[in-house]
Structure 1
């Protein structure tokens, strides 16, 4: 192996048997390993009898750590970058280190290996010819709903990571924004004993979470179908919504129209409020 190389080494997302020989060979040969969490990665490396200097590299120290790693690389050393699980530089600050290496003429070598997003997509049964990886949505509801509104008309399959304690709230916001009829695959604990891959609808998953029929624990990936009906049925949506608005309050009419058409309840509610406001102004 050549010197002065930054290696991106994918590690198992749950099952240690997924550690490939080439990844082990690189980790055994480098001069140092940059890790997201030294305690977590230390256990992994100990399992494979790998003992190397560890350099913590994460969101809170990335600038100083990156300079230290770059200094080693410029001395002709070989450094491997790993994350807590899966492929480094995906939904973590590792990409900035990779960029710094490129900018300073350091060779970068990316080893293929486990990635939760791709593993979940492959097992979802949803279209994979076009997909958009969105990482983690904002933790606060208002910012999360704003981000989802931007994605509401996206026709590509969408991939999200989510924390267990936010799963129910996120699925409810997805259903409100995209419509309950939109398909979703819940991927949980991939490659582990209690792996879950459930292809369903946003409405059904939201109900299952409300009824505590889904465990909210472990690593979670959400694969959401893209919007394949945008603008096709707006005329029919409007017709149904106007009929219901003649007899029902805005909130109830919007909710029923969403159930009938699969269109976003939030979108229908906003449309109904706009119409009511216009009627008031014209009166």
Structure 2
């Protein structure tokens, strides 16, 4: 497969100016060898690459947008660059591409083309939150975003709690940052008081907040999570 390019899954930072703390040198320097990127946000990706100070001319790089609106045919067409021997990098908006991220579509086409897929080391908010929660790391499920509608959300929360208790499985989920406080209120309202909830906000940042308490304990002191990237981890018994 030497005549084909490779796909490199490139993690990016979760918090600003933390490159040195969370990214290995190999991951950082590998970007200097790549000229074609599939990215969730072009502006964010350009800023990220520039922050690494690799001496790369950003204007000479090619960026293909890959988000939930990108047509499948467009992704398929753009991955053909791999057959020209060009390596490509996938950069998520934050954290690891391919995990709760549209970059997985590029990887899927890469496998169909028979190219090597190389995941690089870097931070994942989902796994860092699980690690820090103190909950079951042998059996867990990431549920993504919960429904926005009140009745659907309350039903989803109760289903998560029931699944956790019956399967002894940790449940991991998230919310758009400006809706975090409402989700926190809904969790406190609809979960049993002895259910454990870990709130992991601004992971890897100097102002990171990570705490695991029972719902009963959270009721007396809800944190302010407005516009703070947060992962929620739940376990019920």
Give yes or no for TM over 0.5.
yes
In the TM superposition, what are the counterparts of 1:143-154 in structure 2 within 5 Å? 143-154=152-163
Query: Structure 1, unaligned stretches of length 5 or more?
Result: 229-283
Deviation at 1:207, TM superposition (A): 4.4
Aligned length: 224
| Aligned residue number for residue 87 of structure 2 | 78
Tell me the equivalent position of 1:263.
none
Matching of residues 1-283 of structure 1 within 5 Å: 3-14=4-15, 15-17=18-20, 18-49=22-53, 50=56, 51=58, 52-154=61-163, 155-209=168-222, 213-225=223-235, 227-228=236-237
TM (norm. structure 2) is 0.85
**Contact kept? 2:161, 2:234, Cα under 8 Å:** no
Q: Could you report, residue by residue, the CA deviation over 1:49-71 in whole angstroms, capped at 9, with x for unpaired residues?
A: 34332222111225254124311
Q: Distance in 2 between matches of 1:71 and 1:96?
A: 14
Q: Is the 8 A contact 1:9 1:81 kept in 2?
A: yes
The 1:217/1:207 distance shift into structure 2, 3 A limit, reads farther
Q: Are the aligned partners of 2:125 and 2:203 in contact in 1 as well (CA < 8 Å)?
A: yes
Q: Distance in 2 between matches of 1:206 and 1:216?
A: 17
Question: Aligned partners of 2:189 and 2:228: how far apart in 1?
Answer: 25
1:97-116 CA deviation, whole Å, 9 max, x = no partner? 21121123222111132100
Moved over 3 A (4+): 175-178
CA contact (8 A) 1:32 1:53 kept: yes
In 2, distance between residues paired with 1:104 and 1:168?
Answer: 44
**What is the distance in 2 between the residues matched to 1:62 and 1:24?**
30
User: TM-score, structure 1 length as denominator?
Assistant: 0.72
Deviations 1:126-168 (CA, angstroms, capped at 9, x unpaired): 2222211111212222332333333232221111122232223
Question: Relative CO higher for 1 or 2, CA cutoff 8 Å, sep ≥ 6?
Answer: 2
Please state how far the C-alpha of 1:219 moved relative to its aligned partner: 0.6
**C-alpha displacement of 1:176:** 4.1
Q: 2-side partners of 1:56 and 1:195: how far apart?
A: 30
Q: Using the TM superposition, name which of 104-113 and 171-180 deviates more.
A: 171-180
- Structure with the greater alpha carbon radius of gyration: 1
> Quick check: 1:70–1:101 contact (8 Å CA) kept in 2?
yes
| Deviation digits for residues 81-129 of structure 1 (CA, Å, limit 9, x no counterpart) | 0101100011121112211211232221111321001111111222222
Instruction: Report the secondary structure of 1:59's partner residue.
Output: coil
CA shift at 1:189, angstroms?
A: 0.6
